[in-house]
Chain A
Amino acid sequence: MHVVGPEEGLTLPGLLVNCGDSHTSTHGAFGTLAFGIGATEVAHVLATQTVWQRKPKSMRITVEGSLGPGVSAKDIALGWIAKLGTDGAQGHAVEYAGAAIRGLSMEGRMTLCNLSIEGGARFGMIAPDETTFAYIKGRRFAPKGAAWETACADWRGLSSDEGAAFDREVLLDASEIAPTVTWGTSPEQALPITASLPEASDIPPAKAEAARAALEYMGLKAGQTLEGTVVDQVFIGSCTNGRIEDLRAAAQVLKGRKAKIPGLVSPGSAQVKAQAEAEGLDRIFTAAGLDWVASGCSMCVGMNGDLVAEGKRCASSTNRNFKGRQGRGARTHLMSPAMVAAAAVTGTLTDVRNLLEGRV
């Protein structure tokens, strides 16, 4: 749904999109008002074509500057969630703005908006611009002919007003964002790959017990470096990072290399799968020793039998490192697809920037 809706041209700026899935915020990348709802609310939408919603507070996350090589939308998302907490944007609709956001592809914008809910925001949005229009144009269900011109004119009016006031403003510098990895059991427990795990004394008292429990569950020790942590398996896929650009980023790292550990690569849709195969990406993954499997949620949510075994450590391009998410006792580290590919190559948590020489 979160991959297919946009690629079919069904997700358009200015629409209201609801789905019984919290990652519906993905569609906000198009300037769409999109949010996840429960099953009772889904029935309400189907019965009435409307949904009750309290007006959320507004929050703007502005990311200025430009991202360095090997740094992606996933790292922006994990970075702000680590800074503000998993309930940092609770009750808010988030608009992402600034030069670094404008510089993202639609795939990157979808990754960023997708992860809004991991910071507590039901909505994540980006004002539509020429990048948005170029992505939509010509897709199967996109407006055509005169309707296209009218639509674009309408969509250009969807940006926030100059000088608009937000209930909360957050400013980030893209040049300070490094490839980021989660170390715990909540997406807010994330650090740059170059960091060491926090000591008990570094953690605010309110979060200390959760951190201690997370380290115990994850089989990690306070103070150890993230880089070099031995990983058992990898997973690339999900509605967060299963799009063609994600697979290209992972393949760029894996090309001509062997994975030291097993793993799955699950494209986000049948269309992504076909495109990846046309580009030869599947052969890069299989030559590296990874399994190229069908599209779907797969190992992100441990629902269809693609499980991580108890106590095993998985480098994963997914969205939640909750206890048991990928299987009972599974240890999940969230990171970008390129970072997952780097972990596959070395068998450890690795700074992908060291594997990109001659490749970017």
Chain B
Amino acid sequence: MAGWSTHKGGAVSLPQTNIDTDQLIPARFMSVPRAQGYGPYLLHDMRRDAAGAFKADFPLNLHEGASVIVAGRNFGSGSSREAAVYALVDAGIRVVIAPSFGDIFASNAVNNGLLPAKIDEADSETLAQALGTGTQDITIDLAGRSLKLGSVTSSFSLDDSWATKLINGWDDIDLTLDHGVAIAAFKNTRHQTTAWAWLDGPD
């Protein structure tokens, strides 16, 4: 996964709160192979009519090529489905800015190079008002935890370890395998102290 430290792209506002994982991608599309791309299913039922055609007035449909979403609080609440993140990433989204995120969604986002940028509710509203149903370029600086949209500037919060992962594009498995000796030692100790926890099969 490629790391990144700054991003400049078009932002759109989805001011709804609680945009949950079932809205980000309904479960009925999750059996599609990832190689086909999940972009077409992003927010499927919100942005498409019953016949599957794009609704003309939905912000993401109005502004093709947008890469940043400014959303209401509790974005990505609900399921652990990483497909919700795949749908965003495959649709070209690099950053979601919101006052809060579902915990599992945020972890999944970082594991796929997508930034969950947490900002104050007031700053979120300022950005949403500045955007309305339109689009503007926004610049995001990961190291500085800051963003700029026209004359609006704001800081966002992000766990240090997550910023490091995003900037370097690091894979957790490689990082963890570096601790292999310590993990094996811990496992050995636990095998002695909690023998009951080790599955030797049914009687």
1/0 per residue, CB under 8 A from B, across A140-152: the answer is 1101100110110
What is the 8 Å Cβ interface bit string for chain A, positions 212-238, against chain B (1 contact, 0 not)? 010000000000000000000000000
Contact A38 B82 (CB under 8 A): yes
**B35 contacts chain A at the CB level, 8 A cutoff:** no
Please, which residues of chain B bring their CB within 8 A of the CB of A210?
16-18
1/0 contact string of A11-37 vs chain B (CB within 8 Å): 010110000111010000000000111
From known contacts A37-B104, A323-B23, infer whether A44 and B78 are also in contact, taking CB-CB under 8 Å. no
B28: which A residues are within 8 A, CB to CB? 302-303
Using CB atoms, name the residue of chain B closest to A37. Answer: B80
> Is B146 among interface residues, defined by CB-CB distance under 8 A?
no
Decide: B197 and A12 in contact? CB cutoff 8 A. Answer: yes
For B31, the chain A residues whose CB sits under 8 A away are 303
Give Cα distance in the complex from A49 to B78, angstroms.
Answer: 25
In the complex, the chain B residue whose C-beta lies closest to that of A8 is B202
Interface membership of A243, Cβ < 8 A: no
- Mark each residue of chain A from 318 to 341: 1 if its CB lies under 8 Å from any CB of chain B, else 0: 001011110011000000000000
- Bound Cα distance A43, B108 (Å): 12
**A: interface residue count bin:** 35 or more
Residue of A nearest to B48 (CB): A328
Q: How far is the CB of B71 from chain A (nearest CB, A)?
A: 13
Is B26 a contact partner of A44 (Cβ separation < 8 A)? no
Given A140-B202, A141-B199, the answer on whether A38 and B102 have CB atoms closer than 8 Å is no
Within 8 A of A (CB), among B118-151: none
Q: Which residues of A contact B203 (CB under 8 A)?
A: 144
Interface residues of B in 1-47 (CB under 8 A from A): 16-18, 20, 22-23, 26-28, 30-31, 45
Q: Tell whether B107 is near chain A: CB-to-CB under 8 Å.
A: yes
Contact with B along A39-56 (1 / 0, CB 8 A): 111011001111010101
Whether A122 and B74, one on each chain, are in contact in the complex, defined by CB atoms closer than 8 angstroms, is no
Stretch in B53-61, B62-70, B169-177 touching the partner: B169-177
Q: Which A residues are in CB contact (< 8 Å) with B179?
A: 50
Report the separation of the CA atoms of residues A152 and B142 in the bound assembly, to the nearest whole angstrom.
48
Task: Decide if the interface of chain A is mainly helix, strand, loop or mixed.
Answer: loop
In the assembled complex, which residues on chain B have CB atoms less than 8 Å from the CB atom of A47?
A: 173, 176-177
Taking the closest CB of chain B, its distance from the CB of A293, in whole angstroms, is 18
Contact A324 B177 (CB under 8 A): no
CA distance A301 to B81 in the complex (A): 12
Which residue of B17, B45, B82, B187 contacts A49 across the interface (Cβ within 8 Å)? B187
A10, A86, A302 interface centre (most CB from chain B within 10 Å): A86
Contact B18 A320 (CB under 8 A): no
Q: Tell me how far the C-beta of A312 lies from the nearest C-beta in chain B, rounded to whole angstroms.
A: 14
- Residue in chain A with minimal CB distance to B101: A90
Residue of B nearest to A327 (CB): B28
- Shortest distance in angstroms between B98's beta carbon and chain A's nearest beta carbon? 11
Residue of B nearest to A40 (CB): B111
With a cutoff of 8 Å between Cβ atoms, the chain B residues found around residue A150 in the complex are: 195-196
Give CA–CA (A24, B81) in the complex, Å.
13
Shortest C-beta distance, A58 to chain B (Å), equals 14
Cβ-defined contact, B18 with A324, below 8 A: no
CA–CA, A50 and B187, complex, Å: 10
Q: Are B50 and A38 in contact (CB under 8 A)?
A: no
* Closest chain A residue to B184, Cβ basis: A49
Measured in the bound complex, the distance between the Cα atoms of B26 and A25 in whole Å is: 22
Q: A43-B173, A322-B23, A324-B45 are in contact. Are A36 and B104 (CB under 8 A)?
A: yes
Q: How far is the CB of A324 from chain B (nearest CB, A)?
A: 5
- Which of these, B18, B112, B159, B194, contacts A14 with CB under 8 Å? B194
* Chain A residue contacts of B107, Cβ below 8 A: 37-38, 41
Q: In the bound complex, what is the Cα–Cα distance between A43 and B173 (angstroms)?
A: 8
Contacts of B199 in A (CB 8 A): 10, 141
Measured between beta carbons, the chain A residues less than 8 angstroms from B152 are: none
A38 touches B108 (CB 8 A): yes
**B27 in contact with A122 (CB, 8 Å):** no
CA distance A209 to B18 in the complex (A): 12
Q: Does A199 contact B (CB under 8 A)?
A: no
How far, in whole Å, are A161 and B28 apart by their CA atoms in the complex?
45
In the bound assembly, the distance between CA atoms of A40 and B82 in angstroms comes to 8
Check: A277 CB closer than 8 A to any chain B CB: no
A76 to B202, CA, bound (A): 36
A186 within 8 A of B: yes
Per-residue 0/1 for B160-173: is the Cβ within 8 Å of any A Cβ (1 yes, 0 no)?
A: 01000000000011
Instruction: Indicate if the CB atoms of B79 and A39 lie closer than 8 Å.
Output: no
A86 nearest CB across to chain B (Å) = 6
- A169 contacts the other chain (CB 8 A): no
Quote the shortest CB–CB distance from A347 to chain B (angstroms): 27
- Nearest CB in chain B: distance from A292 CB, A: 24
> Is the beta-carbon distance between B104 and A38 smaller than 8 angstroms?
yes
Q: Mind listing 23 A-B residue pairs with CB under 8 Å?
A: A12-B197, A24-B80, A36-B104, A38-B85, A38-B108, A40-B108, A49-B183, A50-B176, A50-B183, A54-B161, A86-B74, A86-B77, A87-B73, A90-B100, A117-B104, A148-B196, A186-B18, A186-B20, A303-B28, A310-B50, A323-B45, A325-B26, A325-B27
The 5 closest A-B pairs by CB, nearest first: A38-B108, A151-B196, A38-B82, A40-B111, A36-B80
